[in-house]
DNA sequence: CAGGTCTTTATGTCAGTACAAAGTCTTGAC
DNA sequence: GTCAAGACTTTGTACTGACATAAAGACCTG
C-alpha cells in the first residue's frame, strides 16, 4: 500500500498520503470522479479494505469528517454516507465529541443469506454436489403453505447431496415454484441455487429460517453415512425476493458431526 | 402536489389527512418540531406503525418523496432518512421510476441478539428460571479464549435451567468477566442476562454464534428430562459491547423436541 | 486540591438545491 | 399492429450551509 502511485484518468483525483499510522492519515485514500461508481461507495470500500488489511487497526480514530472531506475533495454528507454504511456493517462506531473509531472485536460478517455452497467454498472446502432428483411435482400442503401458493400447484423439487472431500455433509430438499427459472442438472451441480437465481434476475430480499435438531431415522442415516439415531441439524428456509414473492423453500438436513452454523450478528440500536 | 395547503409557521405540528387508502395519503402523519426527538425518527416510527397496523398494506406506494416532504413541511433529505431506515429494516423497497412500496412478505424481525428469556416471553410462554449455580471461578482455556482474557483470570459462572410450563427447555452456562456487573441470584431468576447488562450501562454491539447439534449424554439427558441419546440443539455465543470487549460467553443446550431457533434475515444489497 | 463551568471538538440533525440515472409510459413511425 | 424512440416520473447521488448536542479537557474558583 505504501509507495503505490495512484493513477488517475480524469476528474480531479485527490490523493492523500502521509506517514502517520493508526489513523486515516496514513492511508492512500482517493476517489475517481470519472468512475460511474458512487463516490461514497468508493470511499466506503477503501476504508473497509483498510480495516480488513489492518492498515486501520482496532480503536484507531478515523479523523473528523470535515477534515476528511476536505482532504478528499468531497462534501461532508458524502463522507458521512460512506462512514454510515460501515457503521451499519458493524465495522465502525461513532461517538459524539470523540470521533469515529474502528471497532475492536473481529467482526467478520453479519449473518447473510448465504448458500451452503458459498459457505463451504469460502472455507476452502471445495464442495461438490450430487443431484439425486429433479422433477416437477404438485405441492404438498407443507410446501404450499411455505411458498404461499395453492396446494396442488406445480413446483420443481430437487434433492441434492452436498459433499466435501468425498464425505456427505448435508442433504438438501428444495422447492421452487415451477417456471421461475430453468434448473439444469449440470448447473445445479457446479454452482449454488442462489447464484443461479441471481443470474436469472431474481434479487433475493429476505428469508425466514428455522433451525432445529432431531435424531436420524434409518433412511437419513444411510444417506448421510451416520449411525441411526445420530443427532442431525435441521433447517427450513423460505426465501423471498424483493417483490415479496416466495421463491424458494428448502428443508435441509446436516450432519451435526461435520457441520454447524457459524455466524456473527449485530445489535441494532 | 395536490390541493392540500401546507401551512408553515414554526414549531407546530403539520398534520396531513385524506380519504384515500392504500397509500400514504390516508394517513395522519405529522411531526412535532418542538419535540427533541429527531424529525426523521418521528416520521420513521409513524410509518412503521402504520405498516404494522395495516394502514399501509403490502404493495402500497408511499408516494414520492418530494410531495411527502412538502406535505409534512420537511425537506427531502429528512424524509429520505426516515424512509431509508425502514428500507434497512426490510419493511420498504425502493424502485427507481416507480416509488417506494411496502414489502409484501411478512417480515417480522430480523435476527437480533435476543435473549432466550425475551424470546419465550414474547411467545407468551411465561418462562421461569432456576439458577443452579452462581460462583466465581478461574477461566478455563476454552472460556478464556472465547472471552479474550488470560487463562486463569476470574470469571463469574452461572448455570441456569430455563423452563416453560414447568418443563425444562434449556440448560444455560454463562461466563461473565468478574467485576463487570453484580449478578444477584434473585434478579437472574426474574429477568434475562442481557436486560441486566443494559441496565448496568453496557451497550451490546455484536455477537458471534455457533449453532450445532449432538446427542445427549446421561448427565444432560437427566437435567433436561430427555432420554439418553436424544438430539440436542447447542449454541455457543460470545457477545461484545461497543468498545469491542467481550462481555459474555454462553454455552447453551436446548431440548430439540421443545425448542428451535426461528428467525428472519435480510439480504444486504 | 476538588469541584463545577466554560471552551473545544466532534458527530447529529435539518434545509434547500441541482443534476444523474433508471424505470415506466406514451407517442409515433413503419 | 408492433416496435422503438422519447417524454416523464421517481429515486440516486452530491453539494453547500447552518445550527444543535454530547463528550472531553482546560480553566477557574471555592
> Beta strands of B152-220 (E only): which ranges?
154-164, 167-177, 204-215
CB A13 within 8 A of CB A2: no
Q: Give the pLDDT score at A12.
A: 38
Measured distance CA(A18)–CA(A26) in Å, rounded: 5
Place of cell 413446483: A155
Q: Give the pLDDT score at B110.
A: 59
A132 touches strand C (CB under 7 A): no
Collect all residues with Cβ–Cβ distance below 8 Å to A35 and sequence separation of at least 6.
Answer: A42
Task: Return the sign of the alpha-carbon dihedral for residues B222, B226, B228, B231.
Answer: negative
Which residue is closest to C9 in terms of CA–C1' distance? Answer: A97
> How distant is the Cα of A122 from the closest Cα of chain B, in angstroms?
17
Q: Would you call A219 helix, strand, or coil by DSSP?
A: helix
Q: Among candidates B187, B199, B173, B176, which has minimal Cα distance to B251?
A: B173
Is residue B70 within 8 angstroms of chain A, CB to CB? no
For a pLDDT cut of 70, what percent of chain B falls above it? 78
Cβ within 8 Å, pair A265-B210:
no
Q: How many CB atoms lie within 10 A of CB B179?
A: 10
Collect all residues with Cβ–Cβ distance below 8 Å to A84 and sequence separation of at least 6.
Answer: none
Task: Name the helix (H) or strand (E) containing B262.
Answer: strand B261-266
Strand D and chain A: which residues 96-125 have CB closer than 7 Å?
Answer: 96-98
pLDDT (tens digit, 0 to 9) for every residue of chain B, 269 residues total? 322 222 222 333 444 443 333 566 666 778 888 888 999 999 999 999 998 888 888 888 888 899 999 989 999 999 999 999 999 888 899 998 899 999 887 666 656 666 666 666 666 677 888 889 989 999 999 999 999 899 999 999 989 998 888 899 999 999 999 877 766 666 666 667 777 777 777 788 888 889 999 999 999 999 999 999 999 999 999 988 887 788 899 999 999 999 888 888 887 76
Instruction: Give the CA A162 to C1' C2 distance in Å.
Output: 69
For chain A, the 3-state helix, strand and coil shares in percent, each to the nearest 5, are 25, 30, 40
Place of cell 411531526: B31
> Beta strands of A8-98 (E only): which ranges?
92-95
Strand C and chain A: which residues 156-195 have CB closer than 7 Å?
Answer: none
> How distant is the Cα of A118 from the closest Cα of chain B, in angstroms?
14
B53 touches strand D (CB under 7 A): no
CB A6 within 8 A of CB A29: no
Cβ within 8 Å, pair B207-A267:
yes
CB B113 within 8 A of CB B204: yes
Question: In B, residues 47-66, which contact A (CB 8 Å cutoff)?
Answer: 58-59
Is residue B232 within 8 angstroms of chain A, CB to CB? yes
Q: Give the pLDDT score at B17.
A: 41
Q: Give the pLDDT score at A242.
A: 81
CB A141 within 8 A of CB A175: no
Protein-proximal nucleotides of chain C (any atom < 7 Å from a CB): 8-18, 21-24
Backbone angles phi, psi at B160, to 5 degrees: -130, 150
Grid coordinates given for A75: 462534501
CB A231 within 8 A of CB A192: no
Q: Among candidates B249, B239, B236, which has minimal Cα distance to B144?
A: B249
Cβ within 8 Å, pair B93-A205:
yes
Q: Among candidates A268, A235, A266, A219, which has minimal Cα distance to A114?
A: A235
Backbone angles phi, psi at B199, to 5 degrees: -65, -25
Specify burial of residue B135 (Cβ count, 10 A radius: 0-12, 13-18, 19+). Answer: exposed
Grid coordinates given for B70: 412538502
Using a CB-CB distance cutoff of 8 angstroms, which residues of chain B are in contact with residue A242?
Answer: 93, 103
Q: Give the pLDDT score at B8.
A: 29
| Pairs across A and B, CB distance < 8 A | 160
Q: Which residues of B25-44 are buried (b: 16+ CB within 10 A; e: fewer)?
A: bbbebbbeeeeeeebbebbb
Grid coordinates given for B214: 449432538
> How distant is the Cα of B249 from the closest Cα of chain A, in angstroms?
14
Question: In A, residues 117-176, which contact B (CB 8 Å cutoff)?
Answer: none
Q: Give the pLDDT score at A137.
A: 93
Is residue B211 within 8 angstroms of chain A, CB to CB? yes
- Give per-10-residue mean pLDDT for chain A (269 aa): 30 39 65 90 93 85 89 93 92 90 73 64 75 92 92 91 90 88 67 76 84 95 95 93 86 92 78
Grid coordinates given for A32: 475517481
Amino acid at each position: 500500500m505504501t509507495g503505490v502511485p495512484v493513477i488517475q484518468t480524469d476528474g480531479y483525483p485527490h490523493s492523500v498520503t502521509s506517514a502517520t499510522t493508526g489513523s486515516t492519515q496514513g492511508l492512500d485514500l482517493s476517489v475517481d470522479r470519472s468512475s460511474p461508481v458512487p463516490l461514497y461507495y468508493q470511499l466506503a470500500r477503501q476504508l473497509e479494505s483498510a480495516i480488513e488489511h489492518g492498515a486501520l487497526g482496532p480503536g484507531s480514530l478515523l479523523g473528523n469528517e470535515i477534515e476528511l472531506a476536505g482532504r478528499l475533495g468531497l462534501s461532508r454528507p458524502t463522507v458521512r454516507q460512506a462512514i454510515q454504511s460501515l457503521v451499519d456493517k458493524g465495522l465502525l462506531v461513532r461517538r459524539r465529541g470523540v470521533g469515529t473509531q474502528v471497532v475492536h472485536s473481529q467482526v467478520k460478517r453479519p449473518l447473510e443469506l448465504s448458500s451452503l455452497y458459498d459457505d463451504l467454498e469460502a472455507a476452502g472446502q471445495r464442495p461438490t454436489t450430487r443431484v439425486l432428483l429433479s422433477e416437477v411435482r404438485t405441492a404438498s400442503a407443507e410446501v404450499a403453505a411455505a411458498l404461499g401458493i395453492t396446494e396442488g400447484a406445480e413446483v420443481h423439487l430437487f434433492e441434492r447431496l452436498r459433499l466435501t472431500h468425498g464425505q456427505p455433509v448435508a442433504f438438501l430438499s428444495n422447492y421452487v415454484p415451477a417456471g421461475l427459472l430453468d434448473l439444469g442438472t449440470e448447473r445445479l451441480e457446479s454452482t449454488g441455487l442462489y447464484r443461479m437465481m441471481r443470474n436469472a434476475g431474481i434479487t433475493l430480499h429476505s428469508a425466514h429460517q428455522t433451525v432445529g435438531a432431531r435424531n436420524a431415522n434409518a433412511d437419513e442415516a444411510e444417506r448421510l453415512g451416520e449411525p441411526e439415531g445420530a443427532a442431525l441439524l435441521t433447517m427450513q428456509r423460505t426465501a423471498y425476493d424483493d417483490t415479496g414473492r416466495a421463491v424458494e423453500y428448502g428443508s435441509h438436513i446436516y450432519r451435526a458431526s461435520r457441520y454447524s452454523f457459524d455466524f456473527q450478528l449485530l445489535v441494532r440500536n
